[in-house]
Amino acid sequence: MDNTQAVRAKKNSELMRILRQLSKNRLAVVGLIIIVIELIVAILAPYIIPYDYTTMDMASTFATPSLKHLFGCDDMGRDIFSRVLYGARFSISMGVLSIAIATVIGCTVGAVAGFYGGWIDNLLMRFLDIIQAVPGLLMNIVIAAILGPGFINTIIAMAFGYIPGMARMLRAQMLKERGNEYIEAANSINCSKFRIIVHHLIPNCMSPIIVQATMGVAQAITLAAGLSFIGLGIQPPTPEWGAMLSGARQFIRQAPHLIFFPGLAIAITVLALNLMGDGLRDALDPKLKN
């Protein structure tokens, strides 16, 4: 037809564009690399740790970092380096799973509320209000206390607290997108309500959700560590980072390296996730294209 305008029909899928935009933000790329490394470590942990994370070497209790024990040993003579690496599995998976559950449930609730409006919206929002009325950490503590410590229980306790935030965010996006003409167009070609929500609305509402989820994983990891620290969540000897902090609390004066390394692991993970989340937010916002 006309060839004057150079229309870029190159493989310009949305994903490529986002990745390109993201790659311009150096800090975000650093964050992404760190997370990727941590994921690899977490997956390969059983195969790469120099010592089994439960092995106790009573001769090396409180050993300071050395070539033999890179991060030193804890009060039971266990190699901290191995425990930190293995602990990545717990901390990261708890963070990711709790946010994943919260996102799925939250988005479903938010989508239904946002699309149908009226009394359905009202009912669901009031229900979320009740959940949110209890201060966040307290809610998590109460549920964790009811369910008891443990991997699955802690994930459930954490997920519960994140559901309202996700639901409201998706609902807000829904309300905004719902008024667009392409939704009217979908109606006019006989799309079912289900198809409109799933095919058209949700994909267009996902950008802030993705950013929120990424930052949420960071919050969840910190929360998991916090719950373990106070005796809920995961308990020692399981090498979850928070549990490790909890166990090392009493030795902070004489052997600070017991606290330092798990603490550092948490800090780096959270920082990396936040950097990545910030970068994603900028990359997904079409107005910031510069």
Q: Which stretch binds another protein (CB under 8 A): 39-47, 166-174, 199-207, 241-249?
A: 199-207
Identify whether the C-beta of residue 245 lies closer than 8 Å to the C-beta of residue 263: yes
Is position 190 an interface residue for another protein (rule: CB under 8 A)? yes
Q: Which stretch binds another protein (CB under 8 A): 25-33, 175-183, 231-239, 247-255?
A: 175-183
> What residues form DSSP beta bridges with 73?
79
Identify whether the C-beta of residue 185 lies closer than 8 Å to the C-beta of residue 127: no
Of residues 3 and 254, the one with the C-beta less far from another protein: 3
Is position 15 an interface residue for another protein (rule: CB under 8 A)? no
| SS3 label, residue 79 | strand
Of residues 5 and 254, the one with the C-beta less far from another protein: 5
Among 204, 210, 260, 271, binds another protein (CB under 8 A): 204
- With CA atoms as reference, report the closest residue to 41 among 97, 83, 94: 83
Of residues 64 and 180, the one with the C-beta less far from another protein: 180
CA–CA–CA angle 9, 10, 16 (5° rounding): 120
- Smallest gap from Cβ 174 to another protein, in A, equals 14
The CA distance from 277 to 259, in Å, is 27
Is position 189 an interface residue for another protein (rule: CB under 8 A)? yes
Of residues 26 and 68, the one with the C-beta less far from another protein: 26
Is position 59 an interface residue for another protein (rule: CB under 8 A)? no
**CA distances in angstroms from 256 to 72, 73, 75, 120, 241, listed in the order given:** 11, 11, 11, 54, 15
The CA distance from 217 to 277, in Å, is 10
Quote the distance between the C-alpha of residue 114 and its chain's center. Answer: 24
Is position 290 an interface residue for another protein (rule: CB under 8 A)? yes
Among 184, 198, 264, 267, binds another protein (CB under 8 A): 184
- Smallest gap from Cβ 241 to another protein, in A, equals 38
* Both structure tokens of 24: 């311009």
Is position 289 an interface residue for another protein (rule: CB under 8 A)? yes
DSSP H or E stretch at residue 164: helix 151-178
Which positions lie near another protein, rule CB under 8 A? 1-2, 4-9, 12, 14, 24, 180-182, 184-192, 195, 200, 203-204, 286, 289-290
